[in-house]
Structure 1
Amino acid sequence: MNTNPELIVMLTHNDRTVSNAQEIFEACKNSKARFWGFKEEPLPLEDMKRLYSVMKKCGKMTFLEVVAYTDAECLAGAEMAVECGVDVLLGTMYSDSIRELCEAHGLKYMPFIGKVSGRPSVLEGSLEEMIDEARRALEKGVYGFDLLGYRYAGDAAALNKAFVQAIDAPVCLAGSINSYQRLDEVKEASPWAFTIGGAFFEGKFGTSFEEQINAVCDYVAR
């Protein structure tokens, strides 16, 4: 989609939102990252709404990633995204009801692609199956896709690159981007965006949270 993928800072570790997410955002709101988000668990809804409101006031594009697989759980997560007023819903398994809900409330919908299970998530399936699935969803009007490439049971770098090349829509590479080698692979795949959460909490790109955000933003912009 572009030569400089956007970093989505996820205030999450092990696929769950950290308890001090707002404190971290407040400390890093002047970093170079424009895209911010977190998961649907375990913050109370009112805390989520408050944090998204602060993010929006700071001019950030906001994301909620819903790690759910049943119809009921996915729809509940989508309804949460609507209540929070986020810009983009990441995750859930695609459904017409979620797409219609997002369309009605002006949210961009980027569902998971492939066979996804567990938490932290695992991705399975063939490239061909994922491309076919994505094309069917695009015909129905989704905005793009949440590809858990580095949670894949096969060659993640090859999958990421081939999927992005095959799909004419925004792709977010999410999950386990935790090294400069993987950042190089992300740059080569050239998706619309990618997420980093846990790696920042584990100090994979430096020391302070803000320093790591800026280091990653600078690296992908080169």
Structure 2
Amino acid sequence: MAVNFVLMLTERDVTIPDAVEVYRGLEVDGLAHVAFKDVGVEPSAARKLTDAAHADGRQVLLELADLSDHGQEQGLRLALDLGVDQVVARWRPDFAARLADPDAPRYWPFVGSLSGSPLALSSTPEELAAMAGQLSDAGVGGMVLMPYRQHAHDAAALLAGTARAASVPVLVAGGVKDPSQVADIARAGAWGFTMGGAALADRHDDPSSVSRRVADLLQLCRQLGPEPGPTEENV
């Protein structure tokens, strides 16, 4: 199975103000996943975006950007109200319990210690591998790793070690910009990756650039099949 691409309608960790318009302007086949964050977007626009993607047969991932307890609670309420398919959030056992219902969004917590804005990863390879095992044992739908949001360790090695320790899908987010990174992601056996700013950067001067960039990425994904690894039904 080819590595999966998730179009992130964000820049600098905030949902772009024209997310609905950019989505509606997409002219591309094969895009199965779109995502946005719960910051930078009004609930009404979030609803329009979610409904439009679902009407097109695509899955929607919502990332809860505010890592405070209050922010995570607010974000989870929004996710449940919108009926998104996946929720990316801080690891909280109570979230795992609240999202255990088969009809609830699937819970994809961050793996590792994150802080700052944009988020930066500060965990060691050993800490990431240990947490990947713990999250897998907790029955989450998947997990989100940010290997390109740190400089202390080789990102490809960090990704490979975490993916080996996980028995659920691993989604790579943050800082993915070029084909060599996508190749590393596929080689590690990760489920997929997100890209936001790098895919959206030229949209103001050339709105059709987003569709071309997405089409190129999907073609690359089809060419790069990961090693056999964990999959999640209906992801």
Q: Is TM (by shorter chain) over 0.5? A: yes
The Cα RMSD (Å) is 1.7
The answer to whether structure 1 residue 212 and structure 2 residue 216 are counterparts is no
Runs of 4+ off more than 3 Å: none
Matches within 5 A, 1:75-154: 75-90=73-88, 92-104=89-101, 105-153=103-151, 154=153
Whether the 8 Å CA contact 2:140–2:168 is kept in 1: the answer is no
Whether the 8 Å CA contact 2:133–2:165 is kept in 1: the answer is no
The answer to whether structure 1 residue 191 and structure 2 residue 164 are counterparts is no
The structure in which a higher percent of residues are helix is 1
**Separation of aligned partners in 2, 1:182 and 1:88:** 24
Indicate the residue corresponding to 1:6 in structure 2.
4
Q: What per-residue deviation string (whole Å, max 9, x for no partner) do you get for residues 61-86 of structure 1? A: 11001123222222221221111100
Whether the 8 Å CA contact 1:75–1:97 is kept in 2: the answer is no
Give the deviation of 1:128 after TM superposition.
1.5
Q: What per-residue deviation string (whole Å, max 9, x for no partner) do you get for residues 11-57 of structure 1? A: 10111100111111111154331110111111111210121011001
The answer to whether structure 1 residue 201 and structure 2 residue 200 are counterparts is yes
The runs of 5 or more residues in structure 1 that have no matched partner are: none
**Separation of aligned partners in 2, 1:68 and 1:146:** 16
Q: Which amino acid aligns with 2:157?
A: A
Whether the 8 Å CA contact 1:31–1:213 is kept in 2: the answer is no
Give the deviation of 1:157 after TM superposition.
1.1
**Separation of aligned partners in 1, 2:164 and 2:222:** 20
**Separation of aligned partners in 2, 1:85 and 1:174:** 22
Q: Which amino acid aligns with 1:160?
A: L
Find 2:58's aligned residue among 57, 60, 68: 60
TM-score, normalised to structure 2, is 0.87
Whether the 8 Å CA contact 2:64–2:87 is kept in 1: the answer is yes
Question: Aligned pair count?
Answer: 217
The answer to whether structure 1 residue 18 and structure 2 residue 13 are counterparts is no
**Separation of aligned partners in 2, 1:167 and 1:51:** 31
Q: Which amino acid aligns with 1:176?
A: G
Q: Which amino acid aligns with 1:85?
A: G
The answer to whether structure 1 residue 171 and structure 2 residue 167 are counterparts is no
Whether the 8 Å CA contact 1:172–1:194 is kept in 2: the answer is yes
Give the deviation of 1:103 after TM superposition.
2.1
**Separation of aligned partners in 1, 2:122 and 2:79:** 26
Sequence identity percentage = 25
Q: Which amino acid aligns with 1:190?
A: G
The runs of 5 or more residues in structure 2 that have no matched partner are: 224-235
**Separation of aligned partners in 2, 1:120 and 1:162:** 24
Whether the 8 Å CA contact 1:111–1:144 is kept in 2: the answer is yes
The answer to whether structure 1 residue 157 and structure 2 residue 156 are counterparts is yes
**Separation of aligned partners in 2, 1:47 and 1:100:** 29
TM-score, normalised to structure 1, is 0.92
Matched residue of 1:150: which SS?
A: coil
Q: Which amino acid aligns with 2:175?
A: S
